[in-house]
Structure 1
Amino acid sequence: MPPEHGVVITLKEVYDEMRELISEVRQLTSEYKNSKQVDEDHERRIRSLERWMYAIPASVFLAIASIVVALVNKG
């Protein structure tokens, strides 16, 4: 017997919605884990770039110093 002023929600509908919710939570959890891995990979790449960038000035300085020493010893 349907209610006069309302809606009937069956246990099957509740069950189906719960299954869908569980599926979405699993998907979001998986995406979060992948996002965390991407963030960690991104952080590692940034650190690598920073090390490379700081190494360039030192190598340029050593190259210039070597050229100066070679010119001084030649002349």
Structure 2
Amino acid sequence: MALPIRNTIRRHRFDAGEMTQKALAEAVGVTRQTIVAIENAKYAPTLELAFRIAAAFDKPLEEIFIYEP
């Protein structure tokens, strides 16, 4: 069953100079595997982590994460 939360992390990483998953993970304090799981909608981040990811791209939360019940 797919999570009801989509994200645009991959696109934002590309737009941020092709930022690697590892670089994003280091910027927000998680492992690269966590970023992979979030990008692939296998794992929903905590609210705090979602805000940290959005802040890493200097974007509002709703531009990175989209809730689709």
Which structure has greater helix proportion? Answer: 1
State the TM-score, normalizing by the size of structure 2: 0.18
**Bigger-Rg structure (1/2):** 1
State the TM-score, normalizing by the size of structure 1: 0.17
Which structure has greater strand proportion? Answer: 2
